[in-house]
Structure 1
Amino acid sequence: MQVRIAWGIWWLGLTLAWAAAAAPWQGMAAASEPAFWWQLRQHALYLSGIWSIGMMSLVMLLSLRQRWMERPLGGMDQVYCLHKWAGIAAAVAAVLHWGAKESSGLIKGMVGTAGRVPREAVLSWATDWRGTAKDLGEWAFYALLIMVVLTLWQRLLPYRPWRKLHRVMPALYLLLAFHTLALTPLTFWQAPLGMVMAALLLVGSVAALWSLAGRIGRGRNRYAAQVHEARVLGGAAGQAPLEVLCAMPKNWPGHRAGQFVFASFEGAEGPHPFTIASAPEGCGRTADGKELLRLVIKPLGDYTRRLPSLLQPGQAVQIEGPYGCFDAQGGAARTQVWVAGGVGITPFLALLQARQPGVACRDGLQPAHLHYCTRNAAQDVLLPQLQALCEAAQPSVRLQVHDAAQGEYLTPEHLAQYGAQLDIWLCGPAGLGKAMRQAQQRGWRIHQEAFQMR
């Protein structure tokens, strides 16, 4: 919900700023039919362009992964959701912009050239750059569409080449920023819209240059850790979950149960998001006093399947974070319900460990009901640990396992038994989240951890 609100506010702000500068209602009402169509094209051209570059500027800003973004949006995973949907909106607006540009031939065939809007003045330095700016914008438009298609249709491209291709996006933004700067009418720059556009282009360009310089994720949020231990939790490597204990440096600020980090085990591969599967101090410390951080990684892709053969004790690992607001802190008068599917159980392992005797538990925790959806309970290597954690949890956590192999599936009735006022904390595949939202009843508050951030 916060992502939708933020997206809507951003879109509305861009639209109102354009409307105040263009005042489309002033000329179109009294225009003749030929002039009406040409003015409509002109307004559509500029509005769609402002939407596109405005959303692209938001994409660039969000790509910086700044911690201050988490609280208003509900966590870094939600920042990535807004990043994704802003990118899609930018591409859709770019298509509309291209369509408005190409509609001149259609309008000419309908009403002729009478009433055609004359070319508007631009910034003085940009007059000689109109042709170049148009060409660069068109090339960047085609590249942007390809990027969005590959992002949405992930099976077309494995992660590593996708990541390398995605690094082109900041360069495309700089081309589009130049296109915007050179072709925006002078009257827009003289209106309040001009200040909005200048701020967007400045912030977006700085973010793009920061990204091209490889600075994202570095600085105060990045820590040089080491692999303390890596072991496969039952089964064969590449099929069973991998447990990785990371020895964190002394300047590690600590984390909250339910948060995640970006871990980079290989420089060429880049960082991947992994949920922390341990509570603060839950895994103890090394002999030299370094806190141990536990990651449980399921082999869901080519890279994660290769990790067991790549990781060795003492190996360097770059940890960025911690991020996230998935802390299962709800209203005192509301029933806590946790829902996990597959590897989505990972944040709940940390939340459960925070409730164990001897672990520094926080005051104010409430009893909870945990529903765990698994493909095959008999082969689930995490289930015994999960059951033990639930049995010892203080306050209590009642576990119910939904075993797909036995035809046992989670239904809305399982949750409705707890009453109407529910805080539901959900982490699992997109299908599980969609089903839960379709079944959502009045009084339910669903807090969902984004399962995929690509």
Structure 2
Amino acid sequence: MNPKIWWYLARGAGLTSWALAAVTLVWGLLLSTRSFIKRPRPAWILDLHRTLGGLTVAFVGVHLVGLFADGYVHFGPAQLLVPLASTWRPGAVAWGIVALYLLIAIEVTSLWRRHLPASWWRRLHVVSIAVFPLGTIHALTAGTDAGPLFREVVLGVTALVVFLWGLRLIAPRWPAGRAQVPPAPPQLRSPAPTKAPLA
């Protein structure tokens, strides 16, 4: 077996998890912006968002397994789970660990959404946007694949996320798009016909 298989696995899973996190965030912003998707929303739209989030967590797990199994740089449980515990680029690795915990918290609370107050869940779910910048910083500073092409992709995706986030903030203030029709004047009742007097 190729001794670098675990390193390739860690790199591939890391890039895939970043891409999935970006798609999950973009899809979530589209879901929450009424300018793109009107209500009632089909069930498959929400299911796709949940599936993308679950796949992100799964590939992050594969990323951690690859780092743990690879022998080039030592990554034990402490180095993988405790910020600044790694001797290899501790700051860069710490960004990824913080993103990991935030991602797990969001995924767990999403699974338990029915058991949580709606307002509390919404506030926590809004924080999920922080996973993307944290993961992006981690990928750019700790990843070995952060070449010019990857940086251009990051720049483009970041611009899209910023645009959608700004649109989400102002979209609820937009008018619904229906013309204001003035109320119809009250109808006047015609007087009841009077009977002619009998001769």
Structure 1 length-normalised TM: 0.32
2:178 counterpart residue number: 252
- CA distance 1:50–1:41, shift in 2 (3 Å): same
Tell me, in whole angstroms, the C-alpha distance in 1 between the residues paired with 2:130 and 2:108.
18
1:280 counterpart residue number: none
What is the one-letter code of the residue matched to 1:144? L
**Residues 150-200 of structure 1, C-alpha deviations (whole Å, 9 max, x = no match):** 1023244222211111111112221111111212325x514x555434433
Tell me, in whole angstroms, the C-alpha distance in 2 between the residues paired with 1:59 and 1:253.
35
- CA distance 1:150–1:69, shift in 2 (3 Å): same
1:60 counterpart residue number: 25
Alignment match of 2:67 (pick from 101, 106, 118): 101
- CA distance 1:219–1:253, shift in 2 (3 Å): farther
Contact 1:64–1:207, Cα closer than 8 Å, also in 2:
no
What is the one-letter code of the residue matched to 1:147? I
After the TM superposition, which residues 75-154 of structure 1 pair with which residues of structure 2 at under 5 Å, given as runs?
76-77=41-42, 78-104=44-70, 108=71, 116=72, 130-154=89-113
After the TM superposition, which residues 23-422 of structure 1 pair with which residues of structure 2 at under 5 Å, given as runs?
33=1, 36-37=2-3, 39-65=4-30, 76-77=41-42, 78-104=44-70, 108=71, 116=72, 130-185=89-144, 188-190=146-148, 192-204=149-161, 206=162, 210=165, 216=168, 218-219=170-171, 222-223=174-175, 251-252=177-178, 287=183
After the TM superposition, which residues 4-15 of structure 1 pair with which residues of structure 2 at under 5 Å, given as runs?
none
Contact 2:34–2:171, Cα closer than 8 Å, also in 1:
no
What is the one-letter code of the residue matched to 1:159? A
Q: How many Å apart are 1:70 and its aligned residue? A: 5.2
Tell me, in whole angstroms, the C-alpha distance in 2 between the residues paired with 1:131 and 1:161.
33
**Per residue, is there more strand in 1 or in 2?**
1
**Residues 83-119 of structure 1, C-alpha deviations (whole Å, 9 max, x = no match):** 2221111111111112222223xxx5xxxxxxx48xx
Long gaps (5+) in structure 1:
1-32, 109-115, 118-128, 224-248, 255-284, 290-454
Tell me, in whole angstroms, the C-alpha distance in 2 between the residues paired with 1:81 and 1:43.
31
**Residues 394-436 of structure 1, C-alpha deviations (whole Å, 9 max, x = no match):** xxxxxxxxxxxxxxxxxxxxxxxxxxxxxxxxxxxxxxxxxxx
- CA distance 1:253–1:149, shift in 2 (3 Å): farther
**Residues 124-174 of structure 1, C-alpha deviations (whole Å, 9 max, x = no match):** xxxxx9321211211210221121021023244222211111111112221
What is the one-letter code of the residue matched to 1:151? S
Q: How many Å apart are 1:286 and its aligned residue? A: 7.7
Q: How many Å apart are 1:68 and its aligned residue? A: 8.0
Contact 1:48–1:94, Cα closer than 8 Å, also in 2:
yes
* Number of aligned positions between the proteins: 167
Q: The residue matched to 1:252 in structure 2 has which SS?
A: coil
**Per residue, is there more helix in 1 or in 2?**
2
| CA RMSD between the two structures | 3.5
Identity between Structure 1 and Structure 2 (%)? 20
Long gaps (5+) in structure 2:
74-87, 186-199
What is the one-letter code of the residue matched to 2:48? L
Q: The residue matched to 2:183 in structure 1 has which SS?
A: coil
